[in-house]
Amino acid sequence: MMEPRSALLLKRQLTELNKCPSEGFSAGLINDNDLYKWEVMIIGPPDTLYEGGMFKAHLTFPRDYPLKPPKMKFITKIWHPNINTNGDVCISILHEPGEDVYGYEKPEERWLPVHTVETILISVISMLADPNTDSPANLPAAKEWKEDRDGEFKKKVARCVRRSQEN
């Protein structure tokens, strides 16, 4: 039986990441028998409040990848305007391709089949450093980011970074 195109593509991306690891994250399969479920470890970017953190997340790919985006969920607790309190990541490149029904995002900001695991994770790392508070997934975190970044927001992130180092 032939493997689906999506499985071949994911296998190739995994091989490439193992051959040429990127700075800031590592990625692998949760279970060697399932190419559609990945575990990633994102290292908190330098010169950000997340520096020193080790944040585990899961990427779940649909069978029609790369036509449709994967879903990303942080397993490690993280306080961020674009990460829901349940860990779901809300970032434009992981939104379904095409027009945004709310008119907020341009089609070219949303999912495109040219994205890879690497481009997704680089975008998420960039999002950690520079949140989009105009379209938050976590309203209290966005409010704190805008109004009390050096106070309560910083304390909550520091707690998440500390806890991420313990696991």
Would you call 90 a catalytic residue per the annotation? Answer: yes
- Compute the Cα dihedral for 84, 37, 159, 81 and give only its sign: negative
Half-sphere exposure of 138 (CA within 13 A, CB side): 23
Q: Write the Ramachandran bin of 98: left for phi over 0, alpha for psi from -120 to 50, otherwise beta.
A: left
> CA 167 to CA 30: how far, in whole Å?
17
- Adjacency order of strands within the sheet including 37-43: 25-29, 37-43, 54-60, 71-74
3-state secondary structure of 113: coil
Contacts of 116 (CB under 8 A, 6+ apart): 13
Of 27, 59, 72, 90, catalytic? 90
Question: Which residues are catalytically annotated?
Answer: 90
